[in-house]
Amino acid sequence: MTKVKRALVSMIVAGGFLLCASVAAQTTVVTFKEGADGWDGNGSIEADGGNPGANAHFFIENFGIEFRTSSNPAFIGDMTASDSITVGIDSKVDSITFEGNEVSRNMIVEFRSHALAVDGYPYTSVWHNLGVLQAGPDWLSYSVTFNPGEQALPQGWGGFGAEDPVTFEPVLPPGVTFADVMASVDELAFTTYEPGWFYGFTIFDVRIDNLSIDRGADADIVFADGFEPR
């Protein structure tokens, strides 16, 4: 489901026609009603039980769960063309157990760039902890809004693609900024694999639905001398 808003402002100026066009702001929501819609991972699409209807269901024993896309165009590409980005997901946890005990896991959103990978890392990424997954009766919504053009990591964000030589924690490679990654996103993942952490085999019974991205209004582009955008 896609909603598109367009704003056009025109004015007459000396020597020609000036058109200021705000490139379409766009919200995309993946409901799984028509299938995976370019998403893949270690869950399976089911017709019922979602919020509402179709959903991705993780009913597995594994180190973690993950759903990702490298082909849905709304969730990849140059994020810095927009002045703000909001990503979100709905989730319902029936159970997460480790060695017979209920445990919690964090829901991570990770923006990955394989093009920026260095030193044997599979990719360089920036990531944010959206919140805690734990057993409960209700669907919960998780989201974050941020400016993709920031150079430094925004508060609450982490980097991956290199290792801090003192703390050994994952960090961005030297010289790579938050905006650099956001300008070349080729994969986006919702995952419980938080960079820098290791996990044992865990039994998951978790559902996700309504994977969303709102790519806010882009900066104005100016067309002059009668040029018209198509």
- Give the range of the structural domain holding residue 206, as residue numbers without chain letter: 25-218
Count of the separate structural domains present in the chain: 1
Q: What tens-digit pLDDT sequence spans the chain (230 residues)?
A: 433 333 323 322 333 333 333 445 789 999 999 999 999 999 999 999 999 999 999 999 999 999 999 999 999 999 999 999 999 999 999 999 999 999 999 999 999 999 999 999 999 999 999 999 999 999 999 999 999 999 999 999 999 999 999 999 999 999 999 999 999 999 999 999 999 988 999 999 999 999 999 998 654 433 333 333 33
Q: Are 108 and 129 in contact (CB under 8 A)?
A: yes
- Does residue 11 lie in a domain region? no
- The per-residue pLDDT for range 87-143, each reduced to its tens digit, is 999 999 999 999 999 999 999 999 999 999 999 999 999 999 999 999 999 999 999
The verdict on whether omega for the bond into residue 170 sits within 30 degrees of 0, i.e. cis, is: no
Residue 20 belongs to some domain of the structure = no
Residue 223 lies in a domain: no
pTM of this structure:
0.85
Judge whether 144 lies within some domain. yes
Per-residue pLDDT at 24 = 56
In a domain, 228, yes or no: no
CATH number, residue 49: 2.60.120.260
Query: Is residue 128 assigned to a domain?
Result: yes
Residue 89 belongs to some domain of the structure:
yes
- Tell me, yes or no, whether 61 lies in a domain: yes
Two structure tokens written together for 19: 């058109």
